[in-house]
Amino acid sequence: MRDPLLVIGGVTDQMAQKLEQSFALHHREEIADINAWMRDFGPGVRQILTNGHYGVPADLMNALPNLAMVSCYGVGYDNIDTDACIAKGIVATHTPDVLNAEVATTAIMLLMATYRELLRDEAWARSGRWKTQGNAPLTRSLDNQTIGILGMGRIGQEIARKLAPWSPTILYHTRTQKDVPYEYVADLTDMARRSDALVVITPGGPATHHLVDALVLDALGPDGTLVNVARGSVVDEEALVAALRAGSLGWAGLDVFEQEPAIPDALCAMSNVVLLPHVGSATNETRAAMGDLAVENLVQFQKAGTVLTAVPECK
Ligand code: A2R
């Protein structure tokens, strides 16, 4: 008999095929009567596969007496209560590094799309306005900009590296200074004031909640661009809408939102924003690598009681 694995959120066919060799998959969304399922399978469940969006709800974690390991398909794990994991002896894993390049590409795509008005000009070409109204208005160059990066970890460093062909001046803000060849700015508002664009790439969770607030947005200013590829919670979305509406912030490129999958109507109605449905890592290649790592963590724990990529709190 294969061990039961509770699966929260979607998995790719490739992940399901690999997992089915070792586990009997129980998909949370297919369980109609969770109490009956708990009685039948709960005590046998030692492992969960989830993602950064769903995490593990507290009632589920508490109801599984033998839960020992949670594998998160994603690098961000702010919806997994790591304090509760530590208290219960549960090891949590995530998928760092394998998505650095893709999320960095997404950040640069949003910078390019906002600076060069990609959506406006694409619509200009497609709608025939070129013929009826003439050339599209000029845009801004992404070259030689001062780019402030909030968060200089694995992905932040990859964003800085990938920006090199545009000859930027890179500033960064984190809680502790890093060994990187960029200028550290101890105060986030100062950094925003000095930056043409601010790229947000910290984890989510209480420590970073609304780090980018009205003051920071105001400091970025009417010619400034905000790009968020981290978590919606890091930016005060209400303040962002107000700043974009008032023109005290120029542009925003957003892959993440506070109440996903909901995006405020006000943002959807603005022409100075580019919106993506949280697709920072969402390519076949990168999701395959993330899926492989999430599955390898599960299988190795099942076989040997060890994991490859524990979250720092569980190391
Ligand atoms: O503050 P530090 O020295 O721990 O630096 C980390 C920074 N960070 C913060 N910066 C300012 N204020 C905070 N409260 C704060 N908390 C963390 O974010 C570090 O430089 C960076 C996180 O880097 P990594 O742990 O290497 O994460 P990675 O792989 O770059 O991914 C970042 C996030 C994920 O958690 C997902 O939410 C998203 O990107 O995909």
Got the DSSP string for the chain?
Answer: -PEEEEE-S---HHHHHHHHTTEEEEEGGG-S-HHHHHHHHGGG--EEEEETTT---HHHHHH-TT--EEEEESS--TTS-HHHHHHHT-EEE---STTHHHHHHHHHHHHHHHHTTHHHHHHHHHHTHHHHH-SPPP----TT-EEEEE--SHHHHHHHHHTGGG-PEEEEE-SS--SSSSEE-S-HHHHHHH-SEEEE----SGGGTT-B-HHHHHHH-TT-EEEE-S-GGGB-HHHHHHHHHHTSS-EEEES--TBTTB--HHHHT-SSEEE-SS-TT-SHHHHHHHHHHHHHHHHHHHHHS--SSB-GGG-
Report whether 311 contacts 62 (CB < 8 A): no
76 lines ligand 1 (CB under 6 A): yes
Q: What is the mean pLDDT of residues 156-179?
A: 98
State pLDDT tens for residues 247-286. Answer: 999 999 999 999 999 999 999 999 999 999 999 999 999 9
Ligand 1 atom closest to Cα of residue 175: 1
State pLDDT tens for residues 49-86. Answer: 999 999 999 999 999 999 999 999 999 999 999 999 99
156 lines ligand 1 (CB under 6 A): yes
Q: Does 231 qualify as catalytic in the annotation? A: yes
What pLDDT score does 69 carry? 98
148 lines ligand 1 (CB under 6 A): no
What pLDDT score does 176 carry? 98
Q: What is the mean pLDDT of residues 289-297?
A: 98
Q: What is the mean pLDDT of residues 11-32?
A: 98
Atom 19 of ligand 1: nearest residue by CA position: 153
Q: Does 26 qualify as catalytic in the annotation? A: no
Reference 201, options 277, 107, 62; nearest CA is 107
Residue among 29, 122, 183, 260 flagged as catalytic: 260
Q: Does 94 qualify as catalytic in the annotation? A: no
Write out the two tokens for 179: 């060994």
Atom 26 of ligand 1: nearest residue by CA position: 153
Ligand 1 atom closest to Cα of residue 152: 20
Residue among 94, 173, 231, 287 flagged as catalytic: 231
Q: How far apart are CA 315 and CA 312, in angstroms?
A: 5
pLDDT tier at 292, thresholds 50, 70, 90: very high
Ligand 1 atom closest to Cα of residue 100: 29
State pLDDT tens for residues 122-165. Answer: 999 999 999 999 999 999 999 999 999 999 999 999 999 999 99
Report whether 31 contacts 10 (CB < 8 A): no
Q: How far apart are CA 126 and CA 83, in angstroms?
A: 52
What pLDDT score does 61 carry? 97
Residue among 94, 173, 278, 287 flagged as catalytic: 278
What pLDDT score does 65 carry? 97
What pLDDT score does 289 carry? 98
207 lines ligand 1 (CB under 6 A): yes
pLDDT tier at 237, thresholds 50, 70, 90: very high
175 lines ligand 1 (CB under 6 A): yes
Amino acid at residue number 116: R
Q: How far apart are CA 36 and CA 33, in angstroms?
A: 6
Torsion of the alpha carbons at 218, 275, 97 and 56, rounded to the nearest 10: 100
151 lines ligand 1 (CB under 6 A): yes
CB atoms within 10 A of CB 202: 25
What pLDDT score does 307 carry? 98
Q: How far apart are CA 275 and CA 257, in angstroms?
A: 10
Q: What is the mean pLDDT of residues 304-313?
A: 98
Reference 145, options 106, 190, 111; nearest CA is 111
Choosing from 159, 176, 202 the residue with most ligand 1 atoms within 8 A of its CB, the one to mutate for a pocket test is 202
Q: How far apart are CA 129 and CA 121, in angstroms?
A: 10
Q: What is the mean pLDDT of residues 112-127?
A: 98
- Distance from the CA of 120 to the center of ligand 1, in angstroms? 32
- The residues with which 97 forms a beta bridge, in sequence order, are none
State pLDDT tens for residues 183-219. Answer: 999 999 999 999 999 999 999 999 999 999 999 999 9
291 lines ligand 1 (CB under 6 A): no
What pLDDT score does 261 carry? 97
Per the document, the length of the chain is 315
